[in-house]
A and B are shown apart, each in its own frame.
Chain A
Amino acid sequence: MGRKLKFGKPTGFFDVFDRRPGPIKKNMHYCPGCGHGILHKLIAEAIVDLDMRDHMVVISPVGCAVFAYYYFDAGGISVPHGRAPAVATGIIRANPDSFVISYQGDGDLGAIGLNNFLQAANRGENMTVCFVNNAIYGMTSGQMAPTTLIGQKTATSPYGRSVENEGYPLKVSEMVAALESPIYVERVALTTPANIMAARKALRKGLTNMKERRGFSLVEFLSGCPINQKMTAQQVDEWIEKEMIPYFPLGCFKDIAAERKPISRPKPTFDKKKVLNALVSSAGITKWGAKSTVLRKELRVKCAGYGGQGILSLGMMIAAMGQSRDINVSWLPSYGPEMRGGTANCSVVLSNNVIGSPVVQNTNILIAMNQPSMNKFLPDLVDGGILLYDSTNIAPPKTDRRVYAVAASDIAIKLGNIRCANSAIMGAFAACLKGFELEDYEDAFEEAIRQTFRKKKELVELNIKAFHEGRKSVETRNV
């Protein structure tokens, strides 16, 4: 109040546009009658008046506003076509103290970048999108836009846009207002002085929402492109009033900023102790044993069965056992379609040396939990190798290798949950390892079970029980 009307360049602009190449440093590159110049001016005033400029990044999109950073005395970045809301998301998530204006045209926002725009709106990102809708592509010289009106002739709709070929013009504000997350959506026009004053107000509302960190605001600006419309500046304003506004009505579609609490983002921690604790605790290890020196040679183990039998967990438990005793281990799953039903297998290597190939081809120990798996992998068992199989599911094999049979599925069913059959057969594996003199294997395996089922704690005791039942039940059959 009481402030004098001042005519001149807003201080949100550079006084001299030094970033603009060529001799013209005082004027913008926009054509006479173009709406971008008006909107730029409104933004340059507002970011200073609202004291947001130091924290502001104005995104220069692909389109006529690609050089917006020539003019604004604020942070500037030019981004790929349509990606402004994604880049803006990166900026404000990485640094929630900054503000960002996603400045976009109708092709950038409504065509190539519609998904990025809608998703940012739907996430309620704390940003203001300035959407310049002039119903035509300016930069690439007059092609059809998603908002081109029915019957409007452009370089790529020379017979006029038709509903049959291109559908109806995209009503962006109406669409965004239908989403839950956005807080403020208004359509204005950069035509008459009255409309421009309404646009100024809407822009400031959007920016204020951002300053208060209330979330996502969209202001759609109907704007003229006299050059590509082949009209004078005055004609294009009349065209907007007569043709565009009836299809794209002006007004506020949504304003719920007052209902929303300010967005607050956590502060990241880099405290060494906290970082290491977070990483270690997620791995679920609670106890480490002493280094085991009793593994005499590299053990290459193959676990195989149906998907759903816990084959991958079985391998993981064996690997975790080795890891807990400072043995080098590798675990490699057959991943993918096998995980979704069908067969599953995994390779586990336990070694005192650096492990070369983690792919187990010459197998020392084969753990088979169904017939097809045993048939498939038994030929890979080396001389002196050991076969462990679930005798509930598999007929005794004809082989000259050492064989341990364990009715793992029966044990599991008796314990009340077929899904612990893998731990039962691991008991048999532990019994085999006894030959390798792994002195504290019971502790090590129990620890491995706890670690593997750390996210399903209710299953830990059951699996430990199954493990011991399996171990006890082992009978050696040299068939």
Chain B
Amino acid sequence: MTQYLSQLYQRLNAVRGRRVFIIPTRFGFIYAGFLILILLGAINYSNSLGHVLCFLLVSMGWVAMHHSYRNVAKIEFINAYANPVFAGQAIKFNLLFENRCHRTSYQIELTSKQSKSRSWNPFERLGGFAHNYTITQLKAGDTITVHYPVPSLRRGYQSLGQIRIASQFPLGLYHTWSYFTSDTKVLVYPQPLGALALPLSKDSGDQITDPTQKGNDDFSGLNTYRAGDPLRAIAWKALARDDVFRIKQFTGYQGGQLMLSWDAVAQVADHEARLSQLCKWILQADEAGIDYGLNLPNRFINYGYGDVHRHHCLTALALFDNE
């Protein structure tokens, strides 16, 4: 039955577009109560202006409902993106919203829910929603990027799930809300953990001592930037001088090459802990300027360095054995 209703709701939704829900708040009910009292008083004293005031306030409440609806109805969710994070870190989502109305919207509260299915129950208001953020003002036709942190749960892809925008503007008599479902997925790397040291000695047989090999320690000159060069090596001062991207070249201790393999962490008992250990090693190797590769049971990544390579390796860890 629930499933049937859920399906029906989603079908309806497809026909009509986004749904906006509205119910009176606590103050809305109190307001209504006061109005009833005023009406009773007006009737009892046959007071015409009492009637007028009561009807005016009723109408104000009614108009406020439309304003409240308007405030939320034309806010559109455009997309969301976020950079990969390590498990345990907050995912810093950037949510892009647009006000498609020709009037300004105010006080839009954002919440999200970590669930994949969209609820058919409109009264599911606060259950499961957390992490408030408020857009105080969104002018007509404007877009806004909201930095919205969401805690990462576990390695792998994590989607934003359901986002709810809600508002009580203008009078606080109504609670208006609407849902968006985002398909945006963010990669969560394993948490870098582990007590094992970087397995340097084992695998450093073919160490290269050529001084021309690039290293991290001693500055040896500038070279033109090529795609894939690490951002942190960009010579910003030089850039300011003559507008050419250059890379600082270093020579010095060469870390050599290092293959981080699944076997090396075989002593760690837990599956996830092994991945965490590998993750930590990758970061350490990257930091140390060692060329490293990754050898997993179902995946082999050859030696390399740089941000792209690191992402490559970490992605492999994040998605390892993930059905």
Co-assembled chains A and B: no
